[in-house]
Amino acid sequence: MEHVLISDADRHEPKHASTALVGQLLKSAGAGVTAFSYLDWSEVTNKPTVTSYTTILTGTSVAASQQPSATGTPLKVEFGPAQTTANVTLSATGDLTFVTAGQYLITLDFGLGRTAGAGDAYLFNRFLIGGTQFGSSTAFRMPDQTVVTPYSVSFGVTVTAGQVFTTEILRDAAGINSGGLFQLTPTLAGWAASPSASISVSKFTGLV
């Protein structure tokens, strides 16, 4: 009887299967020889490449400052001129719209500070998707009259197509009416300015 015609229940295991350990695979050693052993990753050809997150958009504000008009009045942060990509669009007013669904990594950089007034200033920052806050607010207490401090944050979001991300700053009424985002420009030629706000967006592309 041809081996192929033997019912599956009656077929014998490959040679040396009785002594093979759990997790070992039958591998070819070439020249028609096979043996059970553990698989070494270095032996695998055509391995998938992990591309993880790929940067798809960066934006930088050219505004000298971004400051709320009064305490208790939120200000939406902008990140420079409008841009359009296959996966996201950025408006000149700071709306980041996700064109395609997926997992994204957003990195924000701010120059937080105040330049006037006496007393403590309280500046809050929050993130929104579709106009609804997600995550906690971040608070900055600034007792000094003239200070600009860099602040950077990265976080991942899973979104559907059409959702819009924005971020806001707020001068809290617990403090004085001062504070916002400020650009600093070095005096040495050849050095780029430190922007009031910048954004970098990456999309998870998985395995290819």
Do 121 and 191 share a domain, yes or no? yes
Q: Is residue 197 part of a domain?
A: yes
Do 112 and 166 share a domain, yes or no? yes
Burial annotation 119-138 (CB, 10 A radius, 16+ → b, else e): ebbbbbbbbbbeeeeeeeee
Do 98 and 121 share a domain, yes or no? yes
Query: Which residues of the chain fall below pLDDT 70?
Result: 1-5, 8-11, 207-208
Do 96 and 169 share a domain, yes or no? yes
For the chain, helix, strand, coil in percent to 5 are 5, 50, 45
Do 112 and 26 share a domain, yes or no? no
Q: Is residue 156 part of a domain?
A: yes
Q: Is residue 127 part of a domain?
A: yes
pLDDT of residue 59: 98
Contact criterion met (CB below 8 Å) for 84 and 95: no
Q: The pTM is what?
A: 0.77
**What is the extent of the structural domain holding 183?**
53-204
Contact criterion met (CB below 8 Å) for 169 and 181: yes
CA distances, 82 to each of 23, 62, 89, 138, 176 (Å):
54, 12, 8, 26, 33
Do 105 and 157 share a domain, yes or no? yes
Do 58 and 33 share a domain, yes or no? no
pLDDT of residue 90: 98
Do 190 and 141 share a domain, yes or no? yes
State the Cα–Cα distance between residues 127 and 96, nearest whole angstrom.
Answer: 11
Do 126 and 29 share a domain, yes or no? no
Burial of 95 (C-beta count, 10 Å sphere; 0-12/13-18/19+): middle
Q: Is residue 48 part of a domain?
A: no
Do 125 and 172 share a domain, yes or no? yes
Do 64 and 35 share a domain, yes or no? no
The residue among 97, 59, 91, 94 whose CA lies nearest residue 168 is 94
Q: Is residue 67 part of a domain?
A: yes
Instruction: Return the CATH number at 119.
Output: 2.60.120.40
